[in-house]
Amino acid sequence: MRERNQLDQQMNTVREVEAELAETVELAELADMEGDEDLFDEAVTALKALKERAGRAELEALLSGEADGNDCYVEIHPGAGGTEAQDWAAMLTRMYTRWAQSSGYKVEVIEEQAGEEAGLKSATLLIKGDNAYGWLKTEAGVHRLVRISPFDSSGRRHTSFASVWAYPLIDDTIEIEILDKDVRTDTYRASGAGGQHVNKTDSAIRLTHEPTGIVVQCQADRSQHKNRETAWNMLRARLYELELQKREAAAQAEADAKTDIGWGHQIRSYVLQPYQMVKDLRTNVETSDTQGVLDGDLDAFMAAALAARVGLEDGAEA
């Protein structure tokens, strides 16, 4: 039923774009005949917006991976650098939250650990909506920030790193076998936001899958039982995503592209001083509107990375 609804939505988009294109072209022709420059400019603006919409729809049609349509977990971890790196992790968490909200997705905070002075030691978001994983999988990797640190009394420029990991929420139709003996469970007292109730007991859960070293944690609820259930769902999702990554790496081996978006590889630089520039190192897409990007304007970067990724997959299959 979900696949049927997605196909219906795609077909409706095609019909709407076709109808709007015909109306706008007719409007432009009428404006040209009557010499109405304002009306003609309005038609041109509408055509540009329509082109962007059609381009996004075309990219969404390429989201054909088996988990692309699923909801998505996004984990953010600061690199070395103490408070500066933790502040960068908080900025990225805000950036993805803003992107999701402006794109019509729902956002849930699954886990968040505050830094000692500022920022975050870690954060996990659940982004809910159609194709959430399809878009956000392009964001996995290391993000680099260059700026004058507000935490440096000497006003020196600092370079900070933070890792972003995206993996799909899996449903009950996908079976992931996990042996109890392979998983270590730890409980701890929740920190950060949540009020007095969430902090009274050791309700937070951390699961460690020892064969792979994967660690997930949840403190979203005051109930240890609910946090445990969510953590197990996250672990299943991480193991499933790991299997997807293995398949993708094998498929792209001949194209020598398997590390393009891998964990531990820098994908984007955000320079705030001495000049302002955000540049994606995979696609060379760049902008000087750094504040817009940090406020969630990521579509151009995601679209280019997705198009490049699909192109590499097609090349590997060929």
4-33 residue pLDDT tens: 776 787 788 889 888 989 988 988 888 888
* Residues 6 or more apart whose Cβ sits within 8 Å of residue 206: 185, 186, 187, 188, 215, 216, 217, 231
Write out residues in the chain with pLDDT < 50, as ranges: 194-198, 254-263, 315-318
Q: What is the pLDDT of residue 261?
A: 33
Q: What is the pLDDT of residue 146?
A: 92
Q: What is the pLDDT of residue 283?
A: 93
Q: What is the pLDDT of residue 75?
A: 93
CATH number of 72-168+260-317: 3.30.70.1660
**299-317 vs 224-251: helix axis angle to the nearest 10?**
50
Which residues on adjacent β-strands are paired with residue 42? none
Q: Locate the domains of the chain by residue range.
A: 2-61, 72-168+260-317, 180-249
Q: What is the pLDDT of residue 306?
A: 87
Which residue type is seen at 209? H
DSSP per residue, 81-146 = STHHHHHHHHHHHHHHHHHHHHTT-EEEEEEEEE-SSSSEEEEEEEEESTTHHHHHGGG-EEEEEE
**CA 76, CA 173: separation in Å to the nearest integer?**
28
Cβ neighbours, 10 Å, residue 277: 15
**CA 240, CA 178: separation in Å to the nearest integer?**
11
| Contact (CB, 8 A) for 233 and 169 | yes
Tokens linked to 54? 């059609």
The CATH number of 180-249, from 3.40.190.10, 3.30.160.20, 3.10.310.30, 3.90.1150.10, is 3.30.160.20
